[in-house]
Amino acid sequence: MMYPYIILYDETEIVHSHIIEENGMQCVEVHFERPREDGFDIARCILPTYTWIRREGFTDEEINKFERFLHNNAHLLYKYAASGGIKIA
């Protein structure tokens, strides 16, 4: 299951998975998607290793910004992944 996290000014939507147990490690998959005329730019990263498993359409500079974003937000992404997403009234 994927949970919404935030939509950025350029319409990039960031969503995250629930906690995924892999080899005794708690992981969270984070997806970045931005609409374009012929589809979407897509990037996917696995926390806590910050391994990019998919990258299409985003520049290296954008990926670097996303990685800084992830380092600053990892604690919240884990919190929300464990509790079933952000609870919005």
For 54-80, the pLDDT digits (tens) are: 999 999 999 999 999 999 999 999 999
Angstrom CA distances, 2 to 6, 18, 70, 76, stand at: 12, 7, 16, 15
The predicted model scores a pTM of: 0.92
The stretch 5-32 carries a mean pLDDT of 95
Domain boundaries, the chain: 2-83
Residue 57: Cβ-neighbour burial (10 angstroms; 0-12, 13-18, 19+): middle
DSSP state of 12: -
